[in-house]
Structure 1
Amino acid sequence: MTNVLAIGFDPTTIPGFDPAPVLAGIEQGNKAFAELGMAQDLLLISFDELDGRAQAKIVDHLAAKPYDCVVVGGGIRKGTGLLELFQTVINLVHWHQPDAAIAFNESPGDSTDWVLKALEQRRNR
């Protein structure tokens, strides 16, 4: 079985943000992973955990079991003022899951597409 860890923000904790579309995308993504026979663990970081608690949660998840692929969500990657967090997440994945492919998504609903591409790239390296 392919094990995937998806890391992103808990959309319900982002001030002034409508979480409904992201929550719907997460549900769509969960179904798509299940249909492909992939086990997906979802790590949602609260927007108020950017003081180091997020890093500890990420390390705990990365240490829990081996992952074939880690998806870093768009909110972490694209958010204004979040470059340091993005860099930290990538380094943590690299250090704690060196054999895992890393994928990025446009939305939670297209994560499976990007995971499949990243796994294919890993196979062809």
Structure 2
Amino acid sequence: MTDEKSVLVIGLDPTLIDFSQPGYAPGMDATKVLAGLKSSEDELTRLGYSVQLCLTDFGETAEAVVQSQLKQKRFNCILIGAGVRTNPSNFMLFEKLINVVHEHAPQAKLCFNTMPSDTAAAVKRWL
């Protein structure tokens, strides 16, 4: 890449997730999710992207945390992870985060992954 593009990856802090609850993949745990996040961050960095990871809680401070990240830097692309989007119990959180991103980073492309391993592919679709 000739000019570095910035990416904000938003997801739930996996240490806060009860993976035994419905909607989470069987056999998944915080260690595996964190390893996947690190791997996707490393891959994006190798591809020339500037990556910022933003892990949130389930809504108590999530909007403020994301807003703070968006005020610190202009991002070209924002990915909201599958853990926020695909579990029905997180629907309201997803909606709130979309609105925070829309308000504070309207120029950014939005993308979505299905798991940490396809994060780079999601970003590359839009940048």
Give the whole-Å Cα distance in 1 for the aligned partners of 2:82 and 2:104. Answer: 21
Identity of aligned residues (%): 35
Q: Which residue of 1 aligns with 2:105?
A: 97
Give the whole-Å Cα distance in 2 for the aligned partners of 1:92 and 1:16. Answer: 26
Are residue 34 (structure 1) and residue 45 (structure 2) matched?
A: yes
Over 4 Å off, 4+ runs: none
Q: Tell me the secondary structure at the aligned position of residue 81 of structure 1.
A: helix
Q: Which residue of 1 aligns with 2:14?
A: 11
Give the whole-Å Cα distance in 2 for the aligned partners of 1:77 and 1:16. Answer: 15
Which residue of the other structure, out of 67, 73, 81, is the alignment partner of 1:73? 81
Letter in 2 for 1:19: A
How many angstroms does 1:85 deviate by?
0.9
How many residue pairs are counted as aligned between the two chains? 116
Any unmatched runs of 5+ in structure 1? 120-125
Give the whole-Å Cα distance in 2 for the aligned partners of 1:16 and 1:85. Answer: 17
**RMSD in angstroms over aligned alpha carbons?**
1.3
Residues 50-85 of structure 1, C-alpha deviations (whole Å, 9 max, x = no match): 22x111111101111100000000011012221111
Are residue 109 (structure 1) and residue 120 (structure 2) matched?
A: no
Residues 79-105 of structure 1, C-alpha deviations (whole Å, 9 max, x = no match): 222111111111111111111000000
Q: Tell me the secondary structure at the aligned position of residue 88 of structure 2.
A: coil
How many angstroms does 1:36 deviate by?
0.6
Q: Tell me the secondary structure at the aligned position of residue 43 of structure 1.
A: strand
